[in-house]
Structure 1
Amino acid sequence: MLTTISYILATKLAHAAEREDVDYIRYGIEITLSVLLKIVFFIWISSLFGVTAKMLIVAFSFAFFRIFSGGIHLSTFLRCLISSTILFLIPSIIITKDWLFSPVILTVFTYLIGILSTIFFVPISATNRPIPIEKKSSFKWKSFLFLSLWFILSLFFTKYLHSKTFAIYSSFGILIQSYTLTPLGSNTFKMIDKFFDLKKKGGYKNEKII
């Protein structure tokens, strides 16, 4: 549905601008629409549970790290929306600022995990959008830079603004993205796609998710 709408809009824009690169325009429109729809949906669903700010912090920290590190994608927008909603909503609900762990310790732990994930796994290319070899090193350095800036910002919020919210919930966004960079995380996404494929065909029966 989203691809169809994007293609129609791209065709009209390309015709009006007398350009032939419809697919390039469609891709840009599709990405923009998908991001806007996700943000609106995240705000709506999180408001039902009273965790809007928390969920948006988780989602945006995940998204920004993903921009610089890359990552595997599910095969449809709806699957991505459902999966990301669950991934972001659960920690936003069950994690509270009153937990006994120190936000500073959590921040340091998350930073180390992010750095290790970057060293060993970044960048991760989407199947339909491979990253050119000459650009791979820049993904690593941009990921290192992002994580370092996030680390400093988290400590600033905790130490000087006396706010635990940003450090705690952004840490979970970084940790979720770090997990998706690993082979185990990649296999998890493949299993989710497999699950939806089987549901679409009418159930598991004797098939096994591998």
Structure 2
Amino acid sequence: MSIRVLLIDDDRRLYELLSGYLADHEVSVSHAASGPVGLSTLQGDAFDAVLLDVMMPGMDGLEVLRRIRRRHGAVPVIMLTARGDEADRVVGLELGADDYVPKPFSPRELLARLRAVLRRAQPRAQDERLRAGGVVVETSARQVWVEGRPVELTGLEFDILVALVRRAGRVVPRAALLEEAGRDDASVGERTVDVHISKLRKKLGDDPRTPRRIRTVRGVGYVLTDEVT
């Protein structure tokens, strides 16, 4: 079954390169040359993932990502960028990007990243209903409730939460947390964990100054409390 991907990038040559290579690996690529065109395309069609350039004239990739998350939920998004500044990567991750691929990159590397992101977005074969600290997670449906209220998470936020809930009451080191969430590749570091923990706290209703559910163990990692007091 072919994977359908939308490339939002003003570089026509990149589209031609990727579409030719990915077609040989059962990935169909559609192209939108600007942010507004990409958003319009997403509105009228369904895609398995989005490849999104950061540096575009007019509406840049970060603004496009904001709108994708508001309108299209947790569709996997891989950011493509020539920028090397960590701040740009962090902002993208805070907005809900699932991965970052710096330009220039090889189509082979992008394909590997795409497959990894799509694997993480797929439900696990075995359904689990996990509970801890007022949080309920259904792994097959990838749904989360906090005190009975549904919460929408990005793919990586969900995977990190599952790793924490499965080991509720125990400290999970950052490196182990990434490994259990399936994100121990070189593109993801401890700063990424901190960014997503911060987002998770907000979505779970934690006060960032005195978090009750996800607590920091300085210099080690994080722990999801069994009971919220």
Q: TM-score, normalised by structure 2?
A: 0.27
Which protein shows a greater Rg? 1
Is the strand fraction higher in 1 or 2?
A: 2
Is the helix fraction higher in 1 or 2?
A: 1
